[in-house]
Amino acid sequence: MKQDESSTPAVELRGVRKGFGERTILDGIDLAIARGEVLVLVGPSGSGKSTLLKIVSGIETPDSGEVWLSGECCTHTPPYRRPVHTVFQNYALFPHLDVAGNVAFPLAVAGVARAKRQPLVDQALSWVHMQRHARRRIDALSGGEKQRVALARALVDQPQCVLLDEPLSALDPHLRAGTLDLLQELQSELGLTYLFITHDREEALRIGHRIGVLNHGRLEQLGPPEEVYRRPQTAFVASFLGKINWLNGTNAPAGGKPGIGICGCHIPTDGHPAVPAGPVKVGLRPEDVRIGASGRIQARVVSRLFFGDSTTIRVQTADDCELVVDQRPPSDAAMGDMVWLDWSPAAMHLFPADEIDAQANASEKEHAK
């Protein structure tokens, strides 16, 4: 496959829109994936991430916008002429071919001579530690083995970008971490480019060089995992990427300095670029709140869950504000104790209240699933 200068993105989407009938699936997506980068698109089901993957692979065509692969416009190029391969959620291995036959498939259809295929197939199988299973039938493999064969098949002819469609979701939970390690290892060893789709935020945060959060066909935020997690630009991003407490607050400057009032207490917001006018929603991650002998607000412990290395404590303030607090190492606070809560003002995520309520509700429902 063609080697361009390294500055050309492996995949670039420009204003991609797609709808089915009345429904808009993708609403103007702009995205570029650099060579050797792992870009994770994360979002709830129905956010459009699978459609986006199909548009990159060529199985779907956008209604408008362009798809560029390694500097070539491929918007209307059929899937079999695109330098990308997909690792499918259900593996999609060919049941009539054995392991080696599956891995050799991309080479065979590309017209690579039989003798030249063998070393490439062996190499790809060794990447996924399956070289001893070359002659096995697909139906004799376990789920994890199938996934590795699917990966070897997608890597064997070294595509410009590997599209991973929820690659871990069909695996047993205990296999996921190992498979994620393998994906990460291969990526850095071989300098692969991944476009990784998942609805699992932990997977996304762990493997992504950059994370894009999709919601209702829009890319709400795109950036490195830490940035997206620490500085969410929308309430949806804040609640989708991790547990968060939402508190009602008001914009309340005091003594000429900006600040907000929540749960009957005033907190200065020097560090924040801008505090929205009027009612404010304040997001506080459970791990950002400390329980101690002194602090900002006093609250009563209403429930306590012990996890060995940590505790999850639910507290209630005099103003009926409820918060969930994660304490690692475990806190000694017991049910009914009065405790002080403290947090750094920088840990608060501030959003205009009206913009959020509906969204936060929707995402809570998603989490409840």
Partner 1 sequence: MNTQSSRWLALPAVLYLTVLFLGPTSVVLAYSFMRRDIYGGVHLQFSWDAWRMATDGITLGILARTVILATGVTVANLLLAYPCAAALARMSRERRALWVLILSFPMMTSLLLRTYGWLNLLPLAWRGTLPGVGLVLTCNYLPFMVLPLLKAYERADRSLVLAALDLGATPWQAFWRVTFPITLSGAVSGAALVFIPVSGEYLIPHFIGDGKVSLAGTLVMEWFDHRHWPYAAAAATWLAAIVLVPIAGSLVWKSRELSPAK
Q: How far is CA 210 from the centre of its chain?
A: 9
CB of 96 to partner 1, least distance (A): 4
Which residue's CB is nearer to partner 1, number 56 or number 297?
56
**Nearest residue (CB) to partner 1, 109 versus 254:** 109
Query: Closest separation between CB of residue 327 and partner 1, Å?
Result: 46
Q: How far apart are CB 53 and partner 1 at their closest, in Å?
A: 10
Query: CB of 80: closest distance to partner 1 in angstroms?
Result: 5
Task: Look up residue 235 and give its two tokens.
Answer: 């309430």
Which of 48/106 has CB closer to partner 1?
106
Please identify, using beta-carbon distances, which residue of 55 and 299 lies nearer to partner 1.
55
Residue matched to tokens 């999609």 = 92
**Separation CA 40–CA 207 (nearest Å):** 8
Residue 253 CB, nearest approach to partner 1 (Å): 57
CB of 148 to partner 1, least distance (A): 16
Nearest CB to partner 1, comparing residues 90 and 303? 90
Q: Alpha-carbon Rg of the chain, whole angstroms?
A: 24
Residues in Cβ contact with 342 at an 8 Å cutoff, skipping those fewer than 6 apart: 289, 290, 292, 294, 295, 296
| Phi/psi-derived region of residue 197, left when phi > 0, alpha when psi is between -120 and 50, beta in every other case | beta
* CB of 139 or CB of 309, closer to partner 1: 139
User: Do the Cβ atoms of 183 and 194 come closer than 8 Å?
Assistant: yes
Q: In angstroms, what is the minimal distance from the CB of 311 to partner 1?
A: 45
Residue 100, H or E segment? helix 99-109
Instruction: Please identify, using beta-carbon distances, which residue of 152 and 313 lies nearer to partner 1.
Output: 152
Q: How far apart are CA 249 and CA 236, in angstroms?
A: 18
Determine contact, residues 186/155, Cβ cutoff 8 Å: yes
In angstroms, the CA 290 to CA 348 distance is: 13
Residues that bind partner 1 (CB under 8 A): 57-59, 78-81, 85-86, 88, 90, 92, 94-96, 98, 105-106, 108-110, 135-137, 139-140, 153-154, 157
Determine which helix (DSSP H) or strand (DSSP E) holds 184, and give its type and residue range.
helix 173-190
Residue type, 283: G
Nearer residue to partner 1 within complex by CB, 78 or 292: 78
Is residue 27 within 8 Å of residue 17, measured between CB atoms?
yes
Half-sphere exposure at residue 116, Cβ-oriented, CA atoms within 13 angstroms = 8
For residue 206, the 8-state DSSP code is: H
Q: How far is the CB of 72 from partner 1 (least distance, A)?
A: 16
